[in-house]
Amino acid sequence: MATPQESNAPTDAPAAEAVMSEERSDIVREISLEEFTPSGTLAVTGAYFLLLLVLYALMYFVEFAGNGPSIIN
């Protein structure tokens, strides 16, 4: 059967920190919410936003700046 945490609310675990009951061999240390600072997420999403800016600029040069004025002419 599903564990109580899953069946009643996967999110509603009163002792959330104690629920990693099923040990996983690939986990070297457990990190709680307080210990976790998602600095890598900031780096990745920041890089993505930069990429979006570059691609937007590219679209501008391809589609507008690369062609002469049309409506104004």
Partner 1 sequence: MTFVDNYPKATRVVKASFIVAFIALAIGGLFGTIQALHRTNIFRGFVSSVEYYTVLTGHGVLLALVFTTFFIVGLYQWGVSRSLDREPENMRFTWSWFWIMTIGTVLTTIAIVGGLVPGSSISAAVLYTFYPPLQGHPLFYIGAALLIIGSWMAGADWFRSYLVWRKDHPDDKIPLLTYMTLFTMLLWYICTIGVALEVVVLLIPWSLGFVTNIDPLLPRTLFWFFGHAVVYFWLLPAYFVWYTILPKLSGGRLFSDSLARVAFLLFLLLSTPIGYHHQYADPGISIGFKFWALVGTLIILLPSLMTAFTVISSMEHGARQRGGKGYFAWMGALPWNDPAFVGVALAGIMFAAGGFSGMINASLNINMLVHNTAWVPGHFHLTVGTATALTFMAITYWILPQLTGRTLKYKKLALAQPYTWFLGMTLMSNALHRAGLAGIPRRTAEPEYAGFAFEAPFGTIAEMKWQIAIGGVILFVSLVMFLAVIVRSWVGGERVPNPVDDYIPPPLSGSEHSPAILDNMKLWVGLAIILVLFAYTFPLAEMVMDGLFSPGAPPSPV
> What string marks each residue from 4 to 43 as x (binds partner 1 by CB under 8 A) or -?
-xxxxxxxxxx-x--xx-x-x-xxxxxxxx--x-xxxx-x
Give whichever of 31 and 73 is closer to partner 1, judged by the CB atom. Answer: 31
Closest CA to 18 of 8, 3, 38, 39: 3
Residue 19: count other Cβ atoms within 10 Å of its Cβ: 14
Residues 6+ apart with CB under 8 A from 30: 20
Applying CB under 8 A, the residues found at the interface with partner 1 are 1-3, 5-14, 16, 19-20, 22, 24, 26-33, 36, 38-41, 43-45, 48, 51-52, 55-56, 59, 62-63, 66
